[in-house]
Amino acid sequence: MTAKNTDRVSSEMLEMALLLSKHEVLSAQDFSRIKTLCEPPPVYSPERVAQIRLKKAKMSQTVFAGFLNVRPSTVQKWESPASGKHPSGSAAKLLQIIEKKGIEALAC
C-alpha cells in the first residue's frame, strides 16, 4: 500500500469514526484512540531519536534496535545528522508511542 493510499484509508477511517461518535455509537475514548492511530507520526530528527532512546527507553542502540525490529546500524543512522536518514512507517509510529507513553507501552 502506498503512502497516498494509506493517507486516504486513514482519512476515511477517521471520518467514519467521527460520524459514529456523533451518533453515540462510538465512545469518546474510542474515538480518541482511533484519531491517534490515524495521525501520521512526526518527522524525527537525530537529536529527538537519541533523546527518546536515552530518556524514555533508557536503552543502548543495539537493544533499542531490537525493540523496533531494525538493525543497530539503522538506529545509528537515525541518530547521525550526517546520514540524512529518518525513521518512517512503523518505526516512526513506534517512536511516537514510546515518546508519548514510554517503552512500557511496547513491553509484553
Q: Compute the distance between CA of residue 85 and CA of residue 44 in angstroms, rounded to an integer.
A: 9
pLDDT tens for each residue of 19-61: 999 999 999 999 988 888 788 889 999 999 999 999 999 999 9
Give the range among 5-9, 58-62, 63-67, 69-73 with minimum mean pLDDT: 5-9
How many CA atoms, within 13 angstroms, populate the side-chain half-sphere of residue 81? 2
pLDDT (average), residues 7-22? 87
Nearest to 102 by CA among 53, 68, 66, 61: 53
User: What is the pLDDT, as a whole number, of residue 54?
Assistant: 97
Concatenating the DSSP letter of every residue in 46-96 gives HHHHHHIIIIII---HHHHHHHHTS-HHHHHHHH-TTT-----HHHHHHHH
